[in-house]
């Protein structure tokens, strides 16, 4: 199950599962169109058998790119991309509010027999280019299991406020649009995944927008090939996702119509305020699997693979 890396410097790092010949994902860090709020992203992401589970620049939202970390409303700026939501006016083209996240350097890039690591430093900027935050990011592949047809990706980010005033993380919902609390880690599924099955440990379907749960699964069927894929998004225990210790709670942003999308939102109902010099640290695991997993199989897999 050996993993290998292919680094096209200045462009992307691709992680390959050599036994199957599958490119599990490409981490793209080259700058892209300013209107789309440039930032690194993962696309394509594939199952072990090669099934595609991400979309890239779909015609409805050109700034949706695979799996990426975003900030839709950040102290008046839009690091998400595209039009900016303004209460009472809807989405407006405001290029002066569209910012970016920029690659600085890789601190560690390596692959071993059963794991791969990409550790990176980034900077966050408003449209004017000032330094607003510095981020340390670590993306890791592990738990590659051909028997279950699955592998796991962990994403850890620590973003430190470098302004002399607070950074205010919000979303369209905190600015007045119901059920649009997207911000933070965001996945866009392929067009074929529209209408997929969504569930948590306790609930199914369309009532999951804005709920709190340790994990959320999305199951859908491929176009162009037979079979299904399952993605499971999970909070790290350290995230304190329910806010038991008084930290800012997270809620799931999830849609299966008109497109497939999942985000463990940082600011669904309420803004998250990060004071100068403070660090926002979050970690997530995404399980990418061939086949249509049910609730029992997801729970058993997560229980058997500790963080």
Q: Read off the pLDDT of residues 102-146 as tens digits, 9 standing for 90 and up.
A: 999 999 999 988 899 999 999 999 999 999 999 999 999 999 999
- Picking from 63-67, 198-202, 245-249, 252-256, which range would have the lowest pLDDT averaged per residue? 245-249
When pLDDT is averaged across residues 274-300 and rounded to a whole number, the result is 96
Backbone angles phi, psi at 65, to 5 degrees: -140, 95
When pLDDT is averaged across residues 189-207 and rounded to a whole number, the result is 93
Mean pLDDT, rounded, of the chain: 94
**pLDDT at site 245:** 43
Task: Flag whether pLDDT at 206 surpasses 60.
Answer: yes
Contacts of 259 (CB under 8 A, 6+ apart): 55, 58, 60, 61, 188, 189, 191, 193, 194
In whole angstroms, what separates CA 156 from the centre of its chain?
10
The token pair at 160 is 């430190």
**pLDDT at site 307:** 84
**pLDDT at site 238:** 84
pLDDT band for position 280 (50/70/90)? very high
Give tens-digit pLDDT for 15-71. Answer: 999 999 999 999 999 999 999 999 999 999 999 999 999 999 999 999 999 999 999
Which tops the pLDDT comparison, 124 or 240?
Answer: 124
**pLDDT at site 85:** 95
Q: Would you put residue 181 in left (φ > 0), alpha (ψ -120 to 50) or beta?
A: alpha
Task: Flag whether pLDDT at 229 surpasses 70.
Answer: yes
The token pair at 10 is 């200045």
DSSP code for 172: T
H or E stretch at 23: strand 22-28
Task: Flag whether pLDDT at 290 surpasses 50.
Answer: yes
pLDDT band for position 246 (50/70/90)? very low
Task: Flag whether pLDDT at 1 surpasses 80.
Answer: no
CA distances from 207 to 103, 212, 272, 276 (A): 37, 11, 24, 37
Q: What is the pTM of this model?
A: 0.95
**pLDDT at site 248:** 54
When pLDDT is averaged across residues 219-235 and rounded to a whole number, the result is 97
- 279 forms beta bridges with 160
Q: Three-class SS string for 266-305?
A: CCCCCCEEECCCCEEEEEEEEEEEECCCCHHHHHHHHHHC
């Amino acid at each position: 199950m050996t993993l290998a890396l292919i680094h096209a410097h200045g462009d992307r790092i691709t992680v390959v599962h050599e036994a199957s010949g599958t490119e599990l994902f490409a981490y793209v860090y080259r700058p892209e169109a300013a209107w789309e709020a440039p930032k690194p992203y993962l696309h394509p992401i594939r199952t072990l058998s090669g099934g595609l589970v991400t979309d890239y620049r779909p015609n409805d939202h050109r700034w949706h790119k695979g799996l990426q970390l975003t900030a839709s409303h950040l102290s008046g700026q839009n690091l998400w991309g595209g039009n900016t939501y303004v209460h009472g006016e809807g989405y407006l083209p405001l290029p002066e509010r569209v910012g970016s996240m920029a690659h600085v350097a890789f601190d560690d890039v390596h692959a071993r027999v059963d794991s791969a690591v990409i550790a990176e430093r980034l900077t966050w900027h408003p449209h004017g280019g000032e330094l607003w935050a510095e981020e340390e990011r670590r993306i890791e592949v592990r738990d590659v299991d051909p028997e279950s047809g699955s592998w796991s990706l962990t994403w850890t980010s620590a973003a430190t406020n470098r302004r002399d005033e607070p950074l205010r993380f919000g979303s369209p919902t905190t600015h007045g649009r119901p059920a649009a609390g997207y911000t933070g880690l965001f996945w866009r599924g392929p067009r074929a995944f529209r209408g997929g099955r969504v569930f948590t440990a306790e609930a199914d379907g369309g009532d999951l927008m804005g709920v709190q749960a340790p994990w959320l699964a999305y199951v859908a069927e491929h176009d162009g090939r037979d079979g299904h894929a399952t993605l499971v998004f999970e909070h790290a225990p350290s995230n304190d996702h329910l806010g038991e210790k008084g930290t800012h709670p997270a809620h799931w942003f999830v849609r299966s119509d008109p497109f497939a999308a999942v985000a463990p939102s940082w600011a669904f109902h309420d803004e998250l305020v990060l004071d100068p010099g403070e660090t926002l640290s979050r970690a997530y695991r995404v399980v990418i699997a061939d086949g249509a997993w049910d609730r029992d199989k997801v729970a058993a897999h997560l229980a058997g693979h500790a963080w």
